[in-house]
Amino acid sequence: MDQIPLMRCPKANNVGHAAIPCVDLSAPGAAAAVADACRSVGFFRAINHGVRAAITDALEAHAMAFFALPAQDKLDMSGAARPLGYGSKTIGSNGDVGWLEYLFLSVSSNSVEISSLPPSLRAALEAYTAAVRELSGRVLELIAEGLGVDRGLLRGLVVGREEGSDELLRVNHYPPCPLRPPGECGVTGFGEHTDPQIISVLRSNCTAGLQIKLRDGRWVPVSPTRKPSSSTSETRCRLQMHICMQVLTNGRLRSVKHRVVAPEAGAHSRLSVIYFGGPAPSQRIAPLPEVMREGEQSLYREFTWGEYKRAAYKTRLADHRLSAFELRAATQPPAASSADPQPHCSSCMQPPQQQVAKVH
Ligand SMILES: C=C1C[C@]23C[C@@]1(O)CC[C@H]2[C@@]12CC[C@H](O)[C@@](C)(C(=O)O1)[C@H]2[C@@H]3C(=O)O
Ligand SMILES: O=C(O)CCC(=O)C(=O)O
Ligand SMILES: [Fe+2]
DSSP symbols for 231-257: TT-----EEEE-HHHHHHTTTSS-PPP
Q: For residue 180, tell me if it sits in a domain.
A: yes
Q: 3-state DSSP call for residue 43?
A: strand
Q: How far is the CA of 251 from the centre of ligand 3 (A)?
A: 19
Phi, psi angles (nearest 5°) of residue 15: -60, -40
Count CA within 13 A, CB hemisphere, residue 294.
0
Q: How far is the CA of 103 from the centre of ligand 3 (A)?
A: 14
172 lines ligand 2 (CB under 6 A): yes
204 lines ligand 2 (CB under 6 A): yes
Region 160-164 average pLDDT: 74
> From the alpha carbon of 316, which atom of ligand 1 is closest?
1
Q: For residue 164, tell me if it sits in a domain.
A: yes
170 lines ligand 1 (CB under 6 A): yes
Rounded distance between C-alpha atoms, residue 88 and residue 141, angstroms:
36
Question: Which are the contacts of 193, defined by CB distance < 8 A and separation ≥ 6?
Answer: 257, 258, 259, 317, 318
Q: Which ligand sits nearest to residue 91's alpha carbon?
A: 1
Q: Which ligand sits nearest to residue 310's alpha carbon?
A: 1
Q: For residue 342, tell me if it sits in a domain.
A: no
Rounded distance between C-alpha atoms, residue 49 and residue 70, angstroms:
36
Residue nearest to atom 1 of ligand 2 (CA): 272
> From the alpha carbon of 81, which atom of ligand 1 is closest?
25
Confidence of residue 355 (pLDDT cuts 50, 70, 90): very low
Confidence of residue 234 (pLDDT cuts 50, 70, 90): very low
- Check residue 232 and give its pLDDT: 40
- Check residue 20 and give its pLDDT: 86
Q: Residue 105 is inside which H or E element, if any?
A: strand 96-106
Q: How far is the CA of 222 from the centre of ligand 1 (A)?
A: 21
Question: Which are the contacts of 233, defined by CB distance < 8 A and separation ≥ 6?
Answer: 51, 52, 53
User: Based on the structure, what is the number of domains in the chain?
Assistant: 1
- Check residue 296 and give its pLDDT: 95
Q: For residue 161, tell me if it sits in a domain.
A: yes
Closest-CA residue to 255 (of 238, 243, 267, 244): 243
Look up the pTM and report it.
0.90
Q: For residue 339, tell me if it sits in a domain.
A: no
Longest dimension (CA), the chain: 59
Rounded distance between C-alpha atoms, residue 183 and residue 13, angstroms:
17
CATH code (residue 74) = 2.60.120.330
Q: For residue 340, tell me if it sits in a domain.
A: no
Confidence of residue 230 (pLDDT cuts 50, 70, 90): very low
Mutate to test the pocket of ligand 2, among 45, 274, 316 (most ligand atoms within 8 A of CB): 274
83 lines ligand 1 (CB under 6 A): yes
Closest-CA residue to 182 (of 357, 350, 1, 4): 357
> From the alpha carbon of 190, which atom of ligand 2 is closest?
5
- Check residue 14 and give its pLDDT: 59
Burial class (CB in 10 A: 0-12, 13-18, 19+), 5: buried
Q: For residue 234, tell me if it sits in a domain.
A: yes
Per-residue pLDDT tens over the stretch 43-80: 998 989 999 999 999 999 999 999 999 999 999 999 99
Q: For residue 19, tell me if it sits in a domain.
A: yes
Axis-axis angle for helices 53-67, 119-147 (nearest 10): 130
Mutate to test the pocket of ligand 2, among 260, 268, 276 (most ligand atoms within 8 A of CB): 260
Q: How far is the CA of 202 from the centre of ligand 2 (A)?
A: 7
Least confident of 157-171, 177-191, 216-230, 302-316: 216-230
How far is CA 115 from its chain centroid? Answer: 25
Residue 252 belongs to domain spanning: 8-325
